[in-house]
Structure 1
Amino acid sequence: MTSRRAVLSVSAAAAVAAPLAGAGGATAGTRTGPRPQRPDPQLRELLREIDPRRIEADIRRLVAFGTRHTLSSQDDPERGIGAARDWIFERMSRYAAASGGRMSVRKQTFIQPPASRIPEPTPITNVITTLRGSSSPERIYVVSGHYDSRASDVMDATSDAPGADDDASGVAAVLELIRVLATRRTEATIMLAAVAGEEQGLYGSDHMAQVLHDAGADVQAMFTNDIIGTGDAHDGSRPDPRSVRLFVEGVPTTETPQQAAIRQAVGGENDGPARQLGRFVTDVAQNAPTGMDVRVVWRRDRYLRGGDHISFLRRGYPAARFTEPRENFAHEHQDVRVEDGVQYGDLARFCDFSYIARVARVNAATLWSLAQAPGTPTDVVIDTTQLTNETTLRWAANTEADLAGYELLWRESTAADWEHVLDVGDATAVTVDVSKDNVQFGVRAVDTDGHRSPAAAPVPS
């Protein structure tokens, strides 16, 4: 192995023409094909524990509150958003009690001033569970679902708005993640949140993201689960029970003019942090026993709407949205009604609990793989000061104690995913005989157990 801050020089023969190596046996300077993110035994066990019956029970309980509209009752013990808030807090706290003190649960309450869809000052509460990392606690990964609901009239705070699919399904997945993670240790910190105010304008997630931003938090990924209830829209289309969409933006929402100029110079429209998350999730989901295919959509979100990941994107955090493959808009706010505590309507028509469990497994595989791996490399640059067909990249050294080294990735500029991997060892720079004009590069970190970080694309030095 080379030492950190050494420059590894790789010839054209090693970088381009070497035979493909096995997935786990590459040494510094050996080129391989795309190397899959293999699930470790703990992840396999974790995924087996996710239970669709618990997910069903949680969705039915959330539906039974009648409405969870942000402007509904805050203090009625049976109906409204306040009752749902308290039940979610109690459920999260019960699961966290099994963590041996590693998990904490809190209500993050603020007063939202009058604004769009908020006619008067309104308390909004996010319920957040934090699993503190054991060795890299400063590195944070966030997953959310929103527990508020709405009727067809977004200002109707009194009619039934059960919101089974939108978004009790996402909250139930978050609760199940808390349950299975409570008894486990992760290297980085995981935050699992049920946020409110989404239907009125992303107010809960906006506050949560701003609090993290103000604290200088190192949020390296955020995912929202919103409308993940079923792969069957019941609208005459063909069911797609093994697919979930993941929306990932290309050009960052917070891009400065300087960043835009750099991106245009290197052709990085498909290499922003959110797109790298999309590649990471796809790799993890197809190699772990999730039972799902991830359909990555290269858009920030669906037309005319948005989700809680946007609040994090606006603050420069990589973020993405999980959602079912095809929505039934006619049913979205009318799935079940409640009268005298009795549910009417076929809840199973709008929520396939096994489907939601599979989406939860995709989340769990992603979270676990991120939190056990090294952090995404930082300060990655590509040297553009020399007119040459060779390419030199440099990056800052990771600080994890179990870091094994780094991998250089590249692909044709027209390819969607990485095509080549080069193990560069424990170095912080590499020179390869591959023209920077022709391909897109990335760098990722690897630990001693084979966990890999998302890739980071370089910017010109």
Structure 2
Amino acid sequence: MRKISTLLGIYFGFTLGSQAQQIVQRDPLIVTMISEVSPDSLRSHVDKLVSFGTRHTLSSVSDPKKGIGAARRWVLSRFNEFAKQSGGRMTATIDSWMLQPDGRRVDKEHEIGNVMATLKGTDPNDDRIFMVSGHIDSRVSNVSNRESDAPGANDDGSGTAAVIELARVMSKYSFPATIIFVAVSGEEQGLLGANHLAERAANEKWNLEALLNNDIMGSNHSPDTRLIDNTKLRVFSEGLSGFETDKRANGVRQYGAENDGKARTLARYVKEIGERYVDNLEIKLIYRNDRYLRGGDHTPFVNRDFAAVRITEMNENFNNQHQDLRTENGTEYGDYAKNMDFEYLRKNTCVNLANLANLAKAPSMPQNVTLEARNLTNTTTLFWQAPKAGKVKGYYVLMRETHWPFWQKKFFTDKNGLTLPYSKDNYFFAVQAVGEEGHESLPVLPRPSMR
């Protein structure tokens, strides 16, 4: 048994007789990818999205210069351009269907579509999918107004620009697992594109291990509190999804796993990996699915038992969201690019990149993780089986106090089991597979073994 890391999952090295030196272990290839993310490139993506006037879900699909159709075709053209540098691994399409009137936010039949680029994994035995999304549609104050200009620079030009930039950079590299970059439509009309995609993933039985949804992530200040800060980023995650909660309730209650659903486990991972690779950024874990009175495209995935989180800026400016373009009492309203911080957006995009790359390069999760619970002991013994895909160097056993928000310690082993001198009654544990280059899978919480 060898302790590899401590608080926050950051690695430390100590030199005897001298001042402690901190060493953060980063994959040089991921560092290179991160260096290629450009704030100027992100700005150009946002400016182009804004140039379509409105990207309202029900706006024109045929106009060559204005409306949602033109915006979708432009994003597809960018994906296809990036595909040329992928060695044939990336393909792009618009997944389209006809939207039917619902008597609420959709008043007529209308074509809708999600723009998707798929970077196919190189391992034929690895069917895992990791997805990153932002919503391409925009709106003004009246959710049904499809004519007025709705720049949507930050909501959600920022998330869509991040997806485009990630595709631009990552298409040049290869990963064992598959990564899907998607600009979803219909978010403002009720998460329509995300619902369609989540239903498709469930019906087609995709091995979708994680979705990172980016929505409103490029502004650093809020006018009502006068806070200006580009060093913090929020990740929203639900503790337990509504998917078959009734069937799982007894086990969840008995073992205190209310805080360890798939989404929250992913959120902890996002924090650790994001802070490992992106300097001057603290990732704040928000323990709720979303903000008050709002919703996001991760929710349809959470509701279908996929691990999905929402990534969003720390200090929102509501004067710039869902607003008619106007000036009242000296205050300008409207979602313009001039209100954004593109260095902040760069950092937030890099959080996505670091996580996607680390996940797609890691082995899949260990299988059949169990905690021996037959006897009363002050130690903890865990067992597991090798993951289905990927080359494994070993495993980390993670540990935290029951009240603690994220993992505090990691223990490395190259075996398929480990006994720790810590009581299973006092801590939570999880196991993650570690690849030959040090990339970690998502953690798996053990199920108690009573036999």
Same fold (TM over 0.5): yes
CA distance in 2, matches of 1:254, 1:36: 41
1:15: Cα distance to partner? 8.4
Give a deviation string over 1:282-319, Cα, whole Å, max 9, x none. Answer: 11122213442211111111011110000110110000
Which of residues 97, 113, 118 in structure 1 aligns to 2:106?
118
Hey, what does 2:266 align to over in structure 1?
A: 277
1:118: Cα distance to partner? 1.4
Contact 1:141 1:189 in 2 (8 A): yes
2:200 corresponds to 1:211: yes
Hey, what does 1:319 align to over in structure 2?
A: 308
Deviates more, 1:408-417 or 1:355-364: 408-417
Contact 2:212 2:310 in 1 (8 A): yes
1:25: Cα distance to partner? 11
1:326-337 map, 5 Å? 326-334=315-323
Deviates more, 1:287-296 or 1:319-328: 287-296
CA distance in 2, matches of 1:311, 1:90: 27
CA distance in 2, matches of 1:310, 1:71: 22
Q: 1:346 to 1:308 in 2, by over 3 A?
A: closer
Give the TM-score taking structure 1 as reference length. Answer: 0.88
CA distance in 1, matches of 2:199, 2:228: 39
Which of residues 182, 186, 205 in structure 2 aligns to 1:193?
182
Letter in 2 for 1:129: A
Q: 1:332 to 1:405 in 2, by over 3 A?
A: same
Tell me the number of residue pairs that the alignment of Structure 1 and Structure 2 aligns.
431
1:336: Cα distance to partner? 6.0
Q: 1:156 to 1:346 in 2, by over 3 A?
A: closer
Q: Secondary structure at the match of 1:224?
A: strand
Q: Secondary structure at the match of 1:198?
A: coil
CA distance in 2, matches of 1:37, 1:111: 49
Runs of 4 or more above 6 Å deviation: 22-26
CA distance in 1, matches of 2:253, 2:195: 29
Letter in 1 for 2:173: R
Hey, what does 1:444 align to over in structure 2?
A: 432
Hey, what does 1:132 align to over in structure 2?
A: 120
Tell me the percent identity.
41
Hey, what does 2:152 align to over in structure 1?
A: 163
1:255-404 map, 5 Å? 255-334=244-323, 347-404=336-393
2:32 corresponds to 1:45: yes
Contact 1:109 1:125 in 2 (8 A): yes
Q: 1:25 to 1:156 in 2, by over 3 A?
A: closer
1:265: Cα distance to partner? 0.8
1:402: Cα distance to partner? 1.8
Q: Secondary structure at the match of 2:188?
A: helix
Q: 1:23 to 1:66 in 2, by over 3 A?
A: closer
Letter in 2 for 1:416: P
CA distance in 2, matches of 1:234, 1:304: 19
1:334: Cα distance to partner? 3.4
1:252: Cα distance to partner? 2.2
Q: Aligned-residue CA RMSD in angstroms?
A: 2.6
Contact 1:126 1:194 in 2 (8 A): yes
Contact 1:37 1:284 in 2 (8 A): no
CA distance in 1, matches of 2:427, 2:83: 46
CA distance in 2, matches of 1:207, 1:397: 34
Hey, what does 1:3 align to over in structure 2?
A: none
Hey, what does 1:178 align to over in structure 2?
A: 167
Q: 1:372 to 1:50 in 2, by over 3 A?
A: same
1:91: Cα distance to partner? 1.1
Which of residues 109, 117, 131 in structure 1 aligns to 2:96?
109
Contact 2:400 2:408 in 1 (8 A): yes
CA distance in 1, matches of 2:42, 2:10: 36
Contact 2:214 2:310 in 1 (8 A): yes
2:432 corresponds to 1:454: no
Hey, what does 2:19 align to over in structure 1?
A: none
Contact 1:377 1:396 in 2 (8 A): yes
Q: Secondary structure at the match of 1:91?
A: helix
Q: 1:388 to 1:459 in 2, by over 3 A?
A: same
Give a deviation string over 1:114-152, Cα, whole Å, max 9, x none. Answer: 224112222210000111111254111000000011111
Hey, what does 1:430 align to over in structure 2?
A: 418
Give a deviation string over 1:45-85, Cα, whole Å, max 9, x none. Answer: 11111111111111111111111111111101111111111
Contact 2:151 2:336 in 1 (8 A): no
1:412: Cα distance to partner? 1.3
Hey, what does 2:74 align to over in structure 1?
A: 87
Contact 2:12 2:23 in 1 (8 A): no
Q: 1:169 to 1:108 in 2, by over 3 A?
A: same
Give the TM-score taking structure 2 as reference length. Answer: 0.89
Which of residues 132, 135, 146 in structure 2 aligns to 1:146?
135
CA distance in 2, matches of 1:207, 1:19: 41
CA distance in 2, matches of 1:15, 1:263: 30
Hey, what does 1:70 align to over in structure 2?
A: 57
Give a deviation string over 1:408-456, Cα, whole Å, max 9, x none. Answer: 11111111222222223131x3333432111111111111111112211
Q: 1:401 to 1:159 in 2, by over 3 A?
A: closer
Give a deviation string over 1:268-292, Cα, whole Å, max 9, x none. Answer: 1222221221221111122213442
Hey, what does 1:4 align to over in structure 2?
A: none
Q: 1:291 to 1:174 in 2, by over 3 A?
A: farther
Letter in 2 for 1:131: L
**Tell me, which stretches of 5 or more residues in structure 1 are unaligned?**
1-13, 27-34, 338-343
Letter in 1 for 2:441: S
Contact 2:154 2:337 in 1 (8 A): no
Give a deviation string over 1:77-99, Cα, whole Å, max 9, x none. Answer: 11111111111111111111111
Deviates more, 1:129-138 or 1:47-56: 129-138
Letter in 2 for 1:239: I
Q: 1:416 to 1:139 in 2, by over 3 A?
A: same
**Tell me, which stretches of 5 or more residues in structure 2 are unaligned?**
14-21, 327-332
1:335: Cα distance to partner? 7.8
1:258: Cα distance to partner? 2.9
Q: 1:184 to 1:358 in 2, by over 3 A?
A: same
CA distance in 2, matches of 1:221, 1:46: 20
CA distance in 2, matches of 1:426, 1:119: 59
1:213: Cα distance to partner? 1.1
1:385: Cα distance to partner? 3.0
Q: Secondary structure at the match of 1:312?
A: helix
